Amino acid sequence: MLAFLHNQLGKFGEVKYGEIRFHDRKKTEIIVRNGELKKNSVDNYCGIGIRVFINCWGFAATSSLKKEAIEKAIQNAITAAKLVTKSQDIEFAVPKERLAKGLFLSPPDIDSPDISLEEKIEIIQRTEREVRNSSQIRAATVQFLEYSDHKYILTSDGAEAEIKNNRVDFKVMAVAGKDNELMNAREGRGISGKLMDIFKEKSPEEIAQRAAKRAIELLKAPYPPGGEAMVILDPSLVGLLVHEAIGHTVEADDVLAGAAAQGKINQKVASELITLVDNGLPPYNNIRPAGILLVDDEGILSQRTVIIENGILKSYLHSRESAFRLGAEPTGNARAFEYSNQPIIRMSNTYVEPGNSSFEEIVGKTKDGYLMKKWAGGMADLNGEFMFSAEEIYKINNGKIGELLRGTSFSGQAFEVLKTVDMVSKDFEINMGDGHCGKFLQQAKVDGGGPYLLCKVKIGGK
Amino acid sequence: MKDLLSLADFAVKRSQKMKADESEAYISSGKEIRVVIEGKQIKSVEVQERTGLGMRAIKNKGLGFASTNQLERKKIEEVVADSLSLARQAIPDQFNCFPGPVDVLKVELLYDKEAENFSLDRALEYANQMLQTAFEFDSRILIDKGLFIFTNHQRAIVNSLGVKGAEKETLFEYLISGSAREGEEITSSFYGEEAVRFTNQIDVEKVAKVFAQRAIKSLGARPGESFLGRVIFSPQAVTGLLLPIISSVLAESVQSGISPLKGRLGEEIAVKSLTIEDNGLIPGGIGSGSFDREGVPPQPLYIIRNGILSSYLYNTHTAKKEGRKSTGHASGGSRSTPAINPTNLFVQPGDKPYEELIRETKKGIFVTFLMAYPNPVSGDFSGAVGGGFQIENGEMKPINGILVSGNIYKVLKEISGISKERELVLSACPITAPYLQMENLSIVGN
């Protein structure tokens, strides 16, 4: 295949830059709800995406792997790239050592044997039964999603990589009910690896029980009052905050469009306790977050990019094009979800590095505030304003964790919030890998997290 | 289309030959042109052809699904075999079945024959025109992204019970998004978007102006204050509140117990003035089609009529469970099993112009966009407002930094005004919505 694609690359002619991406994806999905198998499906999605830069980007994709179909796609991409008549002054030169060559596997043991589909169905079924083990549970859903990817990426400047990825999501939803009122709770995990890797930390039964227990507890919980408050954000909410409200504003395409981080390189944008990175490589031993990306879809090797260092904004996240436009080096963040998508600037694993305080110390120093746990969705704007939901909230009085309150949303301006950070914990997790990040009609598997942070936000309670 | 039907037929026959109890093949094929705007310029021009086959098989009441985007005979045979082997491994479910044949009336105005020759050049021209219009509108406009997409798409469905259907459609979608900047102030993001089926309906200038107007109008915002009272939601914001309610009338949510609207048909759940219809047979509708993902024609129905919960939406599986017929709301494409979704939603308009609603408001908030994640299960929502305005004695002043919270099921009874004007909002599904005025909402500001 590689030799065949290499040969096709020779047909590009005069281009400033060109790439061929072959991507064969197998997506497996199993959903069990209230004892019924709701989904039991396998989707095969395979093809070649061709992208060239002449006067603008031209992109064409084909699901047919026949030589004629690929040649037609190359011609289509070239025609499209010449449509804009004004030529742009742009260079795609990158240091040779940043170009990916060879075989890349994530996880490294990707070729080790996996359990069968029947066994997977059995585990999902068992977990779902466990959720419904209490009379107060009205409904339960357990969902398994797996992406098995095989890719080749070849570029006109010499990148030639073969990549194999495996990513899995395991999600549990419990719905508890009393009279007409319902309350739900979620537990989920998404990693680079296989289904059984998820259960190395917690068994399926344990995950099921946590979701069920919380849904029941939340049903009885009162609403928190609204207003400004000191809060301790858990790692999943820190992950959500730095991904949605900071991360997107440092993606260089959005920087060029006027996002909040524009023109702020080397300026203080957060408390000096904050060091924020985006890292496509496995960040720490034995952690295999869902956003691992050894090579990006422009054939650039992944790296650990320091976005904020001790409160100072140090770098944006780049593709080849944005790096040229802003006079930087590509950071390996150009990603395409499937062969038929163009690579755009995306995050990988985005997290705040751990600090020096213990979680207990942080709680102890909080006189009047809240502990916010478990992300439950949210959105942010390019001006850094965000609105996130936490599923479980605890009142903190005089350094003691008190009663459980119902989940609600909280909001603020992300950079302002990061300036209010007083304490950062040693305790650290990357755990928001279940689900997808959407940008510009395209999905991506990403992950994020960090330590516990003490900061100030606005709570939208009742 | 003949090709698609014969391929689908081939797949179904093959599946039957391999001893499936019931078989279904859904095939789609299409061409797409896409022009992407980024910042101040055309970023890329894209052209691609897409195909897909989604194969469902039932064996001993177990259901399996497999799909491929490669329509060569060999691949089709593999997918047929995979779907059957998945069906054999599945947990049996007595309600697994496919629909039988029904009369299908062709929905008009879904296909523009003239668009068959729609070229890359023209797509680029429209994208440029949208970009220029937004720029020339005001120098303070910042453009983030823009898109112009043309799709020429066809789909076919065949099942072993005799369902057979094929349909073609064309669609032009375009949108532009960004904000406005003055000095240090950057507004939140705004967008303008539209979708039409015919070349002669394309109006990119309108969309660019709507976007630019929204952004410019919200410049000069001051921090909003907390209060409890009246909120007027734009059609875009209304959509964010109504869609979670709609997700609770999908038979899947109702039957699985996650819908608070379970067992409440015939109950008054909203003010009398609220009526929401679903109609998938509207000629030219963006969500229209002669048949659904399973080959069943969508049945027009009232979801809420004069405040009363009137109907749930069904596909074949959920309908079978209640011993009834599908309402024709099976949704999805070739890459997944049929889900349930609305087609075109219509919220009945009121009798007052929305400007009158504003003029008659002594104190309140106007919301252009609501960044909220209403929880469809509990109904609780709390969202940040984009394009917020303080209304005082009928005058609007831009504000920022406010959150609106409440419960989507409870606010249905707090509607105190519905505008005469409606707009088509392209959210998860197309919804034609008016401005809604609601009381007793809690606003958190400074």
Residue B200 buriedness (CB in 10 A; 0-12 / 13-18 / 19+): exposed
Q: What is the pLDDT of residues B226-262, one digit of tens each?
A: 989 999 999 999 999 999 899 999 999 999 989 999 9
* Cα separations in angstroms, B261 against B213, B309, B414: 39, 8, 18
CA atoms within a 13 Å half-sphere pointing along the CA-CB vector of A451? 25
- What pLDDT was estimated at residue B51? 96
Across the range A14-42, mean pLDDT stands at: 96
- Interface residue B375 vs chain A (CB under 8 A): yes
Is residue B309 classed as helix, strand or coil in its secondary structure? strand
User: Which range has the worst mean pLDDT, A252-256, A444-448, B75-79?
Assistant: A252-256
And the tokens for B89?
A: 């491994």
Partners of residue B75 in chain A, C-beta under 8 Å: 44
Strand partners, B346: B277, B432
Q: What is the pTM of this model?
A: 0.94
Partner-chain contact A381 B147, CB within 8 Å? no
- Interface residue A381 vs chain B (CB under 8 A): yes
- Confidence band of B312 (pLDDT split at 50, 70, 90): very high
Q: Is 80 exceeded by the pLDDT of residue A286? A: no
What is the percentage of chain B residues whose pLDDT exceeds 70?
100
Q: Are A322 and A456 in the same domain? A: yes
Q: Are A120 and A255 in the same domain? A: no
Partner-chain contact B86 A40, CB within 8 Å? yes
- What pLDDT was estimated at residue A409? 87
Across the range A195-210, mean pLDDT stands at: 96
Q: How far apart are CA A223 and CA B328, in angstroms?
A: 40
- What pLDDT was estimated at residue A86? 83
A107 preceded by a cis bond (ω within 30 of 0):
yes
Q: Is 70 exceeded by the pLDDT of residue A219? A: yes
Instruction: State the DSSP H helix or E strand holding residue B208, giving kind and residue range, or none if neither.
Output: helix B204-217
User: What letters, b where the CB count within 10 A reaches 16 and e where it falls short, cover B50-85?
Assistant: bbbbbbbbbbebbbbbbbbbbbeeebbebbbbbbbb
Across the range A199-216, mean pLDDT stands at: 96
Partner-chain contact A59 B68, CB within 8 Å? no
Partner-chain contact B51 A63, CB within 8 Å? yes
At which of A202, A220, A238 does a domain end? A220
Closest CA to A150 of A21, A258, A249: A21
Partner-chain contact B403 A387, CB within 8 Å? yes
Q: What is the pLDDT of residues B97-139, one digit of tens each?
A: 999 999 999 999 999 999 999 999 999 999 999 999 999 999 9
At which of A161, A187, A220 does a domain end? A220
Q: Is 80 exceeded by the pLDDT of residue B373? A: no
Q: How far apart are CA A24 and CA A148, in angstroms?
A: 8
And the tokens for A405?
A: 């309150």
- Confidence band of A288 (pLDDT split at 50, 70, 90): very high
Q: What is the pLDDT of residues A390-419, one digit of tens each?
A: 999 999 999 999 999 998 889 899 999 999
Q: Are A144 and A285 in the same domain? A: no
Instruction: State the DSSP H helix or E strand holding residue B8, giving kind and residue range, or none if neither.
Output: helix B2-17
Instruction: State the DSSP H helix or E strand holding residue B34, giving kind and residue range, or none if neither.
Output: strand B22-38
CB A268 within 8 A of CB A416: no
CA atoms within a 13 Å half-sphere pointing along the CA-CB vector of A18? 21
Q: Which residue of chain A has the CA closest to B185?
A: A383
- What pLDDT was estimated at residue A107? 95
Partner-chain contact A62 B48, CB within 8 Å? yes
Q: How far apart are CA A8 and CA A4, in angstroms?
A: 7
Instruction: Name the CA radius of gyration of chain B, rounded.
Output: 24
Q: Which residues numbered 334-353 in B keep a CB inside 8 Å of some CB on A? A: 335-337
Q: Are A72 and A161 in the same domain? A: yes
- Confidence band of B372 (pLDDT split at 50, 70, 90): confident
Across the range B265-294, mean pLDDT stands at: 98
Across the range B61-77, mean pLDDT stands at: 96
Name the phi and psi angles at B130, rounded to 5: -65, -45
User: Which sequence spans correspond to the domains of chain B?
Assistant: 2-216, 221-446
CA atoms within a 13 Å half-sphere pointing along the CA-CB vector of A241? 33
Give me the torsion for CA of A190, A191, A197, A203, rounded to 10°.
Answer: -30
- What pLDDT was estimated at residue B1? 64
Closest CA to B233 of B424, B403, B388, B398: B388
- Interface residue B145 vs chain A (CB under 8 A): yes
Q: Calculate the average pLDDT of chain B.
A: 95
Partners of residue B338 in chain A, C-beta under 8 Å: none
What is the percentage of chain A residues whose pLDDT exceeds 70?
100
Q: Are A432 and A290 in the same domain? A: yes
- Interface residue B378 vs chain A (CB under 8 A): yes
- What pLDDT was estimated at residue B376? 84
- Interface residue B127 vs chain A (CB under 8 A): no
- What pLDDT was estimated at residue A461? 62
Q: Are A445 and A331 in the same domain? A: yes
Task: For the domain covering B2-216, report its CATH number.
Answer: 3.30.2290.10
Beta strands in A280-398 (DSSP E): 304-309, 312-313, 334-335, 344-345, 349-352, 368-380, 385-397
Q: Is 80 exceeded by the pLDDT of residue A159? A: yes
Q: How many residues does chain B have?
A: 446
- Interface residue B17 vs chain A (CB under 8 A): no
And the tokens for B379?
A: 């109904």
Q: How far apart are CA B274 and CA A31, in angstroms?
A: 35
CB B126 within 8 A of CB B202: yes
List helix spans (H) across A349-458.
Answer: 359-365, 414-419
Q: Are A391 and A291 in the same domain? A: yes
Partner-chain contact A258 B178, CB within 8 Å? yes
Q: How far apart are CA A160 and CA A205, in angstroms?
A: 44
CA atoms within a 13 Å half-sphere pointing along the CA-CB vector of B198? 10
Which of A56, A141, A383 minimises the CB distance to B44?
Answer: A56
**Sequence letter at residue B290:** S
- Residue A325 makes CB contacts below 8 A (sequence gap 6+) with A90, A252, A256
Q: Is 80 exceeded by the pLDDT of residue B71? A: yes
Look up tokens 């995050």; give the residue: A347
- Interface residue B257 vs chain A (CB under 8 A): yes
- Interface residue A322 vs chain B (CB under 8 A): no
- Using alpha carbons only, give the angle A47, A52, A58 rounded to the nearest 5 degrees: 80
Partners of residue A56 in chain B, C-beta under 8 Å: 41-45
Q: How far apart are CA A143 and CA A38, in angstroms?
A: 9
Partners of residue B71 in chain A, C-beta under 8 Å: 63
And the tokens for A42?
A: 């396998």
Look up tokens 């219809």; give the residue: B277
Query: For the residues of A204-269, what is the DSSP string, one character each?
Result: HHHHHHHHHHHHHHHHHPPPPPPEEEEEEEPHHHHHHIIIIIIGGGGBHHHHHTT-TTTT-TTSB-
Q: Are A241 and A302 in the same domain? A: yes
Across the range A430-439, mean pLDDT stands at: 92
Give the mutation candidate from B32, B38, B77, B142 for the A interface (greatest A CB count, under 10 A): B38
And the tokens for B153?
A: 């798409």
Q: Calculate the average pLDDT of chain A.
A: 94
Is the alpha carbon torsion for A328, A329, A331, A332 positive or negative? positive
Domain count, chain A: 2
Helix B204-217 with B120-137: angle, nearest 10 deg: 30
Q: Which residue of chain B has the CA closest to A441?
A: B147
- Residue A143 belongs to domain with CATH number: 3.30.2290.10
Q: Are A31 and A143 in the same domain? A: yes
Q: How many residues does chain A have?
A: 462
Q: Which residues numbered 187-206 in B keep a CB inside 8 Å of some CB on A? A: 187-189
Across the range B19-43, mean pLDDT stands at: 95
Is residue B196 classed as helix, strand or coil in its secondary structure? strand
Q: How far apart are CA A224 and CA A233, in angstroms?
A: 16
- Confidence band of A462 (pLDDT split at 50, 70, 90): low
Pairing of β B41-59 and β B62-68: antiparallel
Q: How many other CB atoms are there within 10 angstroms of residue B362's CB atom?
A: 10
B300 preceded by a cis bond (ω within 30 of 0):
no
Query: For the residues of B94-158, what is the DSSP string, one character each?
Result: TT---PPP---PPPSS---GGGGG--HHHHHHHHHHHHHHHHHH-TTEEEEEEEEEEEEEEEEEE
Which of B71, B91, B335 minimises the CB distance to A125?
Answer: B91
B174: DSSP letter: E
Q: How far apart are CA A251 and CA A253, in angstroms?
A: 6
A98: DSSP letter: G
- Confidence band of A23 (pLDDT split at 50, 70, 90): very high
Across the range B305-331, mean pLDDT stands at: 98
Q: Are A207 and A231 in the same domain? A: no
Q: Is 80 exceeded by the pLDDT of residue B446? A: no
Q: Which domain holds residue A293?
A: 227-460
Chain-centre distance of CA B176, in angstroms? 18
Q: How far apart are CA A243 and CA B106, in angstroms?
A: 47
- What pLDDT was estimated at residue A383? 85
Across the range A175-199, mean pLDDT stands at: 93
Q: Are A125 and A179 in the same domain? A: yes
Q: Is 90 exceeded by the pLDDT of residue A139? A: yes
Partner-chain contact A253 B39, CB within 8 Å? yes
- What pLDDT was estimated at residue A400? 97
